[in-house]
Structure 1
Amino acid sequence: MKSNQLTDSNARALFVPSKRDAAMLATLGLAALALALFFRYAVIQNTPLALSCEAGEESLICHVRLAVILLFTWNVFGVVAMVAAIQLWRPNVTAFGIGLVFALLGLVLYNTRLSALAIALLVLSLARPAPEAR
């Protein structure tokens, strides 16, 4: 019985974002999802826009379209999400937010494998002990 008391008293609190941080993370997540859905359905998969860009139109939207296509071709969204998900070992809200935003962008913009793994690591980081105060 005494060993259970020692274990309970030595246990550290889990990494849980504060209410303010959780609201900020939810807002960033929704904004990332909205941006990714806009890019996917209004810019990348828009056939008339794609045809005009491929025909040589030099507009800002065509340059943005090309940049987003190159980013998901090179798996940038998934790789950045995985790098930010490394915060699993020492959880913090900033790295969690960066990982969340890029993982959500990657899930919608064709980087599903790495982004899904990053989401799983981010969820696991919520079960980790909070870092000790310095």
Structure 2
Amino acid sequence: MSPLVVAAVGLALYLRYDIIQNTPIGLACEAGEQSLTCLVRLAAIHLFVRSIFGWTAVVAALLQLWRPNVVTFGIGLISASFGLVLYNTRLSALAVALLVLSLARARSGAR
């Protein structure tokens, strides 16, 4: 799972510092340039303004608490990674805490 998280954090850092906060790209996109970079920038901005990364992480973490599964754990961890880098820190931190709490849960067959 860790290579996926490292890739997610790397992609989120690239989006934040090389696309979203890059002043020349921002000015070009605001001036009306139609490019894939501007489309990705606009999509990322819409996702973090609406806290999609944080809410996805929280929902996945709650599902992980309810029914532990490696897929929901991965989705929660990747979404929380994006959220922590892309301005959804409160919800993503809550999701990480819930994911850690889900690891402390006893296995169904264990005594």
**What TM-score results when the alignment is normalised by the length of structure 1?**
0.79
Counterpart residue type for residue 11 of structure 2: L
Do the aligned partners of 1:90 and 1:131 also contact (CA within 8 Å) in 2? Answer: no
Partner of 2:84: helix, strand, or coil?
helix
5+ residue gaps, structure 2, are: none
Residue 28 of structure 1: how far off its partner (Å): 0.8
Aligned residues: 108
Residue 91 of structure 1: how far off its partner (Å): 1.3
5+ residue gaps, structure 1, are: 1-24
1:127 to 83, 104, 107: 104
1:21 matched residue in structure 2: none
1:69 matched residue in structure 2: 45
Alpha-carbon deviations, 1:45-99, whole Å to 9, x = none? 0000000000000001001100000000000000000010011122111100000
**What TM-score results when the alignment is normalised by the length of structure 2?**
0.94
Larger Rg: 1
Residue 33 of structure 1: how far off its partner (Å): 0.3
